[in-house]
Structure 1
Amino acid sequence: MKYRLLIWILWPSFLVAGMAEGLLFTVIHPQDLLFFGHHPDISDEGIYSIGFFAIWTFCAVSSALTAYILPGIESPDGKGIDRGLL
């Protein structure tokens, strides 16, 4: 069940991160980025990769928090509460 939960978190966040990166770097060119007033010494592909993984991390954290706060249901025998996905 834990591997299924991991896929439920990572796959949608991967898809959204791909779309978000496409939108972000359609508007902003990597050579226009400045970090603390300096242009980083990284290739455009490196900036695309770092941007993708940063966005994917934020999306995965959002999906994990959503999975965590899903409400549980009472078990049919009344002995406890099923904690949902977790």
Structure 2
Amino acid sequence: MNPAKPLPIADDEVERFEAGEPADVVPPMSGPMRRLAAVVWPAFLMAGVLEVLVFSLVDPGALHWPDGPVLEANRMLVYTLGFFAFWVAVALGSALTQMMLAEPDRTGGARS
């Protein structure tokens, strides 16, 4: 079989495509904002995972102070405070990793 040859088309028959202005161009994030996002977003996701894991095993209604009475708090409040506590803990660990991975610049100080 012979492949079909394209038909010659005159230039006046060809529809030209002209690109318009680009849509809203989002400027790239700066270095510090990119590092902050690299710490906060994964910490948020892991806080959600920890929330599910911990509160699938722990009943917020059964929490009590050490050697004391039962902690009488709304379940949603316990879930919320637990989520934020997990988020802060994971974010601090990630931030510490970011700080330890920062390469020093040539003047001897840490690069931000």
- The structure where helix makes up a greater share of residues is 1
Shared topology, TM-score over 0.5? yes
TM-fit CA distance, 1:11:
0.3
- Confirm or deny: 8 A CA contact 2:62 2:71 kept in the other structure: no
- Confirm or deny: 8 A CA contact 1:13 1:60 kept in the other structure: yes
Q: Indicate the structure (1 or 2) with the bigger Cα radius of gyration.
A: 2
Identity %: 32
C-alpha distance 18-60 of structure 1, shift in aligned 2 (>3 A): same
TM-fit CA distance, 1:3:
1.3
Higher relative contact order (CA 8 A, sep 6+): 1
Query: Does 2:94 match 1:63?
Result: yes
RMSD: 1.9
Q: d(CA) in 1 for partners of 2:34 and 2:109?
A: 17
Q: d(CA) in 1 for partners of 2:69 and 2:97?
A: 37
Question: Which amino acid letter does the alignment assign opposite residue 28 of structure 1?
Answer: V
Q: Return 5+ residue gaps in structure 2 as ranges.
A: 1-30
- The structure where strand makes up a greater share of residues is 1
- Confirm or deny: 8 A CA contact 1:30 1:47 kept in the other structure: yes
Partner SS, residue 69 of structure 1: helix
Q: Provide the residue aligned with 1:50 in structure 2.
A: 81
TM-fit CA distance, 1:6:
0.9
How many pairs does the alignment contain?
Answer: 80
What TM-score comes out, normalization by structure 2 length? 0.63
CA-to-aligned-CA distance 1:16-39 (integer Å, 9 cap, x gap): 110011000000010111123222
Structure 1 moving runs of 4+ over 2 Å:
38-41, 81-84
What TM-score comes out, normalization by structure 1 length? 0.81
TM-fit CA distance, 1:82:
8.7
Q: d(CA) in 1 for partners of 2:102 and 2:77?
A: 40
